[in-house]
């Protein structure tokens, strides 16, 4: 770049890329977003508080958040990539607008309910991180903002920057976070959920304006929960075995999987396998297919019996301390397993586990261990692409539409590997989904706590999937699979869905495409 060139657009501490007034968030009329209380009002001559103190509680004691927010040059590249900005066209529902709010809170302002709502509306899909030319770590910023609501400080020194949630919201979120990360508790709910579905209550509730107004989270749960039996056992044709009870466990391992599955042929690696929470309860057949494919590719697969939640839902939901507790347990379990890599077949879980080093950076007894474990974590597709194929693939004449899960494509930047694995299957045709980088609306617990926005995003994704003319939807995240399948059913164009591990498993075992589509 010559001396006559302007400042680099992605350089830290430099101004907006456009000349003139900063292209920041404009005023929002009729919305009370933030106030600057008297006890926190800064001295204009002193500039903004570097620690972002409110009362006596520093929000950003080491200045990290302010530095991250300062990387934003207001270019607006994030706007067309952001699903909520696409829905509403509201500046404060864009990453740029939310960063503007975060900066105000760091400067000592107190956010109102409207500000908290704008943070809650964010899916955390990280499409903006992919689109940003300045490399802004919006993921770190939005996770911090969510902790200001979820982990409210105690004592007189703890004046929070955002108002407390309503009692109703606190009860709903507590129920979610005390259920989903615990497979036994989640499994206990599958019976009532399926009984309600068989009785048609999900469709009835979906048509009821009263139910949608009084209990939208319950309506969403009834509609999104998969209706087929949750069993890891399958018959010779590859279909779920109806004789097995939902959630039935074997004597060892997770959901019927033995603790050690030996490699077929020459052993090439010893890997640990995360079975997950939602995956284990609702999609154990995906875990079974994952283990079979890894074994066929020459891996000894270790499935630790004592593993639990990885902490992904908690971390992405602003419950950082809770996520850290889950992370420590996962680290200890997989350290004891003595494996070369930890394989994860759920995009959100893999993304969270790769962040363990950052999550526990300020915990000296665990920081080095967390970084080491995070370095061993591999997404299923990522690992297979690195390992290279060993098992022969049989023809699988089928057209599939592959959906990029946000926490795989954006958070982990894994997009080419799944496509390479699918394209290598003889007879398989891969169809691309229009606007494939846009979130489907699942986003962890988003489709439960923001059901209207999630439903609209799901409808858009379903229309795009249907437009491919594919026989099968393929993805790498259980939440996406449930969300898109529900949206396809709602529009009257149902389409079977499968995990990429199931597709590879069918090809390696020379099964018919009907084992994937006849569901």
The 3-class secondary structure across 477-496, one letter per residue, is CHHHHHHHHHHHHHCCCCCC
Q: Report the C-alpha dihedral over residues 320, 321, 323, 327, rounded to 10 degrees.
A: 130
pTM of the model: 0.82
Q: Cα 314–174–351 angle (5° rounding)?
A: 15
The helix/strand/coil state of 417 is helix
How would residue 14 be classed by pLDDT, with cut points 50, 70 and 90?
A: very low
How would residue 202 be classed by pLDDT, with cut points 50, 70 and 90?
A: low
Mean pLDDT: which of 15-29, 49-63, 375-389, 483-497 is highest? Answer: 375-389
Beta bridge partners of 469: none
CA separation (Å) from 51 to 14, 47, 108, 205? 21, 12, 9, 48
**How much is the pLDDT for 191?**
75
pLDDT in tens, 203-255: 665 566 655 565 666 566 656 667 643 333 333 334 333 333 233 333 334 55
Question: Which residue in the block uniquely carries the two structure tokens 């949750």?
Answer: 230
pLDDT of 52 above 70: no
Residue 205 phi/psi, 5-degree rounding, is -65, -35
Do the beta carbons of residue 444 and residue 479 sit within 8 Å? yes
**Cβ count near 357 (within 10 Å):** 18
For the segment 45-54, the average pLDDT, to the nearest whole number, is 45
**How much is the pLDDT for 255?**
53
Please state, in angstroms and rounded to a whole number, the distance separating the CA atoms of residues 394 and 403.
23
Beta bridge partners of 498: 474
**How much is the pLDDT for 247?**
32
Weakest mean pLDDT among 28-42, 307-321, 351-365 = 28-42
Please state, in angstroms and rounded to a whole number, the distance separating the CA atoms of residues 294 and 303.
12
pLDDT in tens, 322-369: 999 999 999 999 999 999 999 999 999 999 999 999 999 999 999 999
**How much is the pLDDT for 400?**
97
Question: Which residue in the block uniquely carries the two structure tokens 């500039």?
Answer: 47
**How much is the pLDDT for 251?**
31
Q: Where are the strands (E) in 405-461, listed by range?
A: 428-431
pLDDT of 23 above 50: no
pLDDT of 22 above 50: no
Domains in the chain, CATH or no CATH each: 34-150 (1.10.1060), 167-224 (no CATH), 260-386 (1.20.1050), 393-517 (3.40.50.11810)
Please state, in angstroms and rounded to a whole number, the distance separating the CA atoms of residues 302 and 291.
9
pLDDT of 465 above 90: yes
**How much is the pLDDT for 226?**
72
């Amino acid at each position: 770049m010559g001396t006559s060139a302007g400042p680099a657009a992605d350089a830290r501490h430099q101004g907006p890329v456009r000349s003139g007034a900063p292209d920041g968030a404009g005023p929002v009329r009729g919305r009370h977003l933030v106030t600057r209380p008297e006890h926190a009002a800064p001295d204009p001559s002193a500039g903004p508080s570097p620690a972002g103190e409110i009362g006596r509680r520093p929000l950003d004691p080491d200045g990290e958040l302010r530095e991250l927010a300062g990387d934003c040059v207001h270019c607006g590249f994030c706007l067309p990539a952001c699903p909520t900005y696409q829905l509403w066209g509201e500046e404060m529902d864009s990453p740029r607008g939310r960063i503007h709010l975060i900066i105000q809170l760091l400067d000592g302002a107190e956010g109102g309910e409207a500000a908290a709502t704008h943070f809650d509306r964010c899916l955390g899909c990280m499409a903006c991180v992919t689109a940003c030319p300045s490399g802004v770590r919006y993921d770190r910023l939005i996770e911090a903002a969510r902790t200001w609501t979820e982990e409210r400080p105690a004592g007189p020194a703890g004046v929070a920057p955002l108002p407390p949630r309503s009692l109703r919201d606190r009860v709903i979120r507590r129920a979610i976070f005390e259920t989903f990360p615990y497979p036994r508790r989640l499994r206990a709910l599958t019976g009532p959920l399926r009984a309600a579905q068989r009785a048609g209550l999900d469709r009835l509730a979906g048509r009821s304006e009263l139910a949608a107004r009084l209990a939208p989270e319950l309506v969403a749960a009834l509609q999104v929960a998969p209706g087929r039996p949750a069993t890891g056992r399958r018959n010779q044709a590859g279909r779920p075995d109806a004789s097995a009870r939902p959630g039935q466990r074997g004597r060892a391992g997770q959901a019927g999987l033995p603790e050690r599955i030996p490699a077929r042929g020459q052993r090439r690696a010893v890997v640990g396998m995360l079975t997950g929470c939602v995956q284990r309860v609702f999609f154990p057949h995906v875990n079974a297919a994952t283990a079979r494919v890894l074994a066929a590719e020459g891996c000894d697969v270790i499935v630790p019996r004592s593993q639990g939640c990885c902490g992904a839902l908690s971390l992405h939901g602003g419950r950082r301390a809770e996520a850290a507790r889950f992370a420590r347990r996962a680290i200890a379990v997989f350290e004891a397993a003595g494996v070369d890599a930890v394989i994860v077949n759920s995009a959100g879980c893999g993304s969270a586990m790769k962040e363990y080093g950052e999550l526990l950076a300020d915990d000296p007894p665990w920081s080095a261990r967390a970084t080491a474990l995070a370095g061993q974590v591999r997404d299923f597709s990522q690992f297979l692409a690195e390992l290279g194929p060993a098992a022969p693939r049989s023809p699988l004449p089928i057209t599939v539409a592959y959906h990029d899960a946000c926490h795989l494509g954006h958070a982990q930047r894994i997009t080419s590997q799944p496509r390479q694995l699918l394209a290598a299957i003889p007879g398989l045709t891969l169809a691309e989904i229009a606007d494939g980088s846009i979130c489907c609306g699942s986003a962890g617990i988003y489709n439960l706590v923001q059901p209207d926005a999630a439903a609209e995003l799901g409808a858009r994704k379903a229309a795009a999937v249907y437009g491919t003319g594919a026989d099968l939807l393929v993805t790498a995240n259980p939440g996406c699979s449930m969300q898109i399948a529900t949206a396809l059913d709602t529009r009257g164009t149902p389409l079977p869905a499968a995990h990429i591990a199931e597709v590879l498993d069918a090809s390696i075992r020379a099964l018919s495409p009907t084992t994937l589509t006849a569901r």
